[in-house]
Structure 1
Amino acid sequence: MTRVTQEPYETHEPYEMHGLHQTHEPYAPYAPYEMSEAHEPHETTPGTRADPPRRRERQRLDAALDRLTATLHGMTAHPDEAQCDCHWGSEEELALLKVPGRELDPDLLERTWRAPDWRDHPALLRRILPQFAAHLVDGRIEALFGMAEVGHCLARGKWQEWPEGQGAAVEEFLRAWWAWTLTEPEPPVPAHDVLTVCAEASGTPSPWLGMWQQFAGPVADRHLAEAVAEWEYDLLGDALPWAAWDRAEEKRRKLAAWLVRRAPDRLRAHGAPDELLHRVRLLGLEGEPRWTDPHWPGHRY
């Protein structure tokens, strides 16, 4: 595995993702990007010969975590990084972020990824991401205000503008985590939360919904039914079901359109109740036709 040899703080050429050159100003919205090769549809029924895809995706995820660790080896926070010692933590804890490879205790890791005001957030994210990603996969990251917080942390790190090897390692981690979640019957982080992280980290839900479309079978369909049940109240009120970093209305429209187009057949195959199917159907209506429909659930906003 190639190790990073450049100094962490030199100015890098932006990472070119799938042919789309990222040239954003700091913290500008990321342009949607196309995922690389789509998976062939995967059957994800547990306890059958379909289990190999599940094992394969777990192996892929483990390899992605190893790649992230190797690629970001030696990264540290900026030498001049500072934080408030009254509200964030001590000078000794800050000093740990400037030492490569030292594992952070869970409390320090939490305070570090949550803080929105680092001087050099990309450098800070490179320092913590291998440990942060492993904790995410294991379900050890608690987001008080929803998993969109995690996606915002990644977005602030502008990982799509990192050098190619680093940016590709982050993308592969997100792809592998999402693919494994869709094949895992009881993932530590629910599928709807993983999609939220990926959508906010990349700036668009489209490639992640595209991956969901490629994974077929009872496990992925059950995750879809659970996600629809989680999202329908907000979506029927024309709101995105999570706090968006930017372009909330665009994300909402893409999510709702995908559900209207792709979810009904899979929900029926899963045996979802008729009321859930009607709520997806209602997403295809707007204004008065929606809330005067006989199957309007009576939501009040």
Structure 2
Amino acid sequence: MKKAILYLLGVILLLFVGTVSYFFFAGEIKNTLQFDEGRFISIQKFIKQGKVESLSQAKLQLNLIADDYKPDSVLLLKTELNETAYKNAKVCLQKKWLGSCQKYIDLIDTEYKKDEVEVLKGKLFVVVNEENITKTKNYLKERNIAKTKTYFAKIDTAYNKRKVEALGKKVAQLDNELKVEKAIELMNDKEFSDAREELAKVDEDYDPKSIESLLEEIKLKEDLEDLLDDEGAIAVFVDHVKKDMNDPNSFEHVRTLISEKGKYLNVIMKYREVNSYGAKVLTTVEAKLNRDGSVKKILNNKG
């Protein structure tokens, strides 16, 4: 009798557990199906929007339900997504929205319309490189080296090697020209060390004779600068002039103009002095000097 009661209780317990489990798992399956159904509808909406961001979200959602949802439905959505991305990529290419075109292509599955997509990629490759070549040429004309280099760097090295190499030479030419111009500007501003540093950046095979000549000019100007006193006069020449003055202590420098003539300097110096009558007068002396400041020849002396 006890065994019968225990057996009956066991059966009831098993039935209870089974019933609870059935309704629990049935509910879970139903919830999962409802969840996937909602996600399916959400994916459809993303695909219809057609934007890169929307299609990216759709692809992400598809990957999440691919293993558990109806295979036919998943395949249908994937096809729709690929076709939308493909069509939009073609439109973007026609309108030269090249960045967006590449993003749409990246969303297309590798096996979808493989040949057509490869053709599209090839066209995009050509258009992108031609676009960067055109921009490089435009900035070359403007002598904007920063943007010239930026767009030249974007050109694929495998694209039309002859054209790219020829363009690269023009980019290097402009780069070197601008460095030389900068060096000349620094030299004229008496920034001699900076001028040399700028010339050191120039390619070794770029007009070596001109670079050597410019370095010599920098050295000459630097030496000339060393000849000048605080007032801008050539100290050696001032000493020479004072020797012939009535009152050397009355010398007042006004202005010195210097022009370089090869290995000589043409100098015009204006100064005030007290003459033999005790009057302060303005005197101008013009002379040809050696590079060390010594007098080669007095050309004119007006008092």
TM-score range, shorter chain: under 0.3
Task: Report the structure, 1 or 2, having the larger strand content.
Answer: 2
Higher RCO, 1 vs 2 (CA within 8 Å, ≥6 residues apart): 1
Task: Report the structure, 1 or 2, having the larger helix content.
Answer: 2
